[in-house]
Amino acid sequence: MLDSKSVVDLCISKGFALAGVTTASHSSHDAVLRKWLKDEKHGEMEWLNRNVDVRLDPRNLVEGAASVICVADRYGKLEEEPLCARDGRIARYARGRDYHKEMKKRLHSISDTLREEFPGEQFRACVDTAPLLEREFAQRAGIGSVGKHTLLIEQGIGSWMLLGAIVTTAVI
Ligand code: B12
């Protein structure tokens, strides 16, 4: 059976820059999130106000969840030139292929490998698509820390990275 180091290595072999594993447990920022929503800081993003109990605890997303595998993909390579003024400029994170699809494909492939190692366990890949506090779990998994600008930042990489996760019932 794979241990967390082997799972991290598997994620890196799929092209992710960083990976880590943490326990699926309740958010440490329950009160922060609830106040943020009560103060209507989410503006028109009404969907953030739905499934709050799920967002605060991955065990409400995947019943019996034990672990969260967190990954980060880099974006915004410095050699990318800005487009000419006539075409407008596209935010770095949005250039190239749709990261939701691209990262999810690799997360599904990792899940397929892990299903063989952990028969009978469930694996749910998430890239923005599920109510999960991706930054908080990524910090817990040790792949960076949440900066004052609210993004996950890692020394040497900065914060130009996109996050994804696999919530699983497997104990890793
Ligand atoms: C909604 C959303 C947005 C909204 C609102 C942003 C926001 N403040 O949350 C909008 C559309 C504005 C947005 C913009 C951007 N986003 Co966005 N967004 C999300 C999404 C889908 C949900 C975030 C969420 O739950 N917000 C709710 C609020 C309450 O969360 P919060 O402020 O982080 O507070 C929580 C914790 O941080 C914690 N907390 C509070 N204080 C502290 C302090 C410390 C030290 C710690 C550890 C925790 C902590 O308490 C809260 C509850 O846990 C996530 C994906 C996901 N599922 O997580 C991507 C995500 C956060 N976005 C991302 C990106 C890349 C961006 C942009 C850079 C894109 C761009 N270029 O425009 C900007 C950056 C803007 C910014 N500085 O926040 C990435 C961030 C990657 C990274 N390096 O961290 C994510 C993770 C998407 C991804 N899959 O990679 N985003």
Confidence tier at 147 by pLDDT (50, 70, 90) = very high
- Residue 72 CB–ligand 1 contact under 6 Å: no
| Torsion angle in degrees (nearest 10) through CA of 147, 16, 98, 65 | -80
- What is the spatial distance between Cα 73 and Cα 97, in angstroms, rounded to a whole number? 13
pLDDT digits (tens, 9 = 90+) for 10-56: 999 999 999 999 999 999 999 999 999 999 999 999 999 999 999 99
pLDDT tens digits for range 71-125: 999 987 766 666 666 777 778 888 888 999 999 999 999 999 999 999 999 999 9
Identify the pLDDT of residue 94.
85
17 CA → ligand 1 middle, Å? 19
The pLDDT value given to residue 82: 62
135 Cα: distance to centroid of ligand 1 (angstroms): 7
What is the chain's alpha carbon radius of gyration, rounded to the nearest angstrom? 17
Query: How would DSSP label each residue in 123-161?
Result: EEEESSSSS--HHHHHHHTTS-EE-TTSSEEBTTTBT-E
Mean pLDDT computed over 139-148: 96
Q: Write out the catalytic residue numbers.
A: 128
Across the beta sheet with 67-74, the strand order is 18-23, 67-74, 161-168, 123-126
Q: Are 58 and 68 in contact (CB under 8 A)?
A: yes
How many whole angstroms separate alpha carbon 46 and alpha carbon 10? 36
The answer, yes or no, to whether any atom of ligand 1 lies below 6 A from the CB of 106, is no
Question: For residue 151, what pLDDT is reported?
Answer: 96
CA distance linking residue 113 with residue 127, whole number of Å: 19
Site to probe by mutation for ligand 1, drawn from 42, 135, 148, 161 as the one with most ligand atoms within 8 Å of Cβ, is 135
Tokens of 101: 């699809």
Of 48, 133, 157, 159, best ligand 1 pocket probe by most atoms within 8 Å of the beta carbon: 133
Residue nearest to atom 33 of ligand 1 (CA): 150
What's the 134 CA to ligand 1 centre distance in angstroms? 8
Model pLDDT, residue 80: 61
With CA atoms as reference, report the closest residue to 129 among 23, 51, 74.
51
Q: How far is the CA of 56 from the centre of ligand 1 (A)?
A: 14
Q: Supply the residue whose CA is at minimum distance from atom 79 of ligand 1.
A: 162
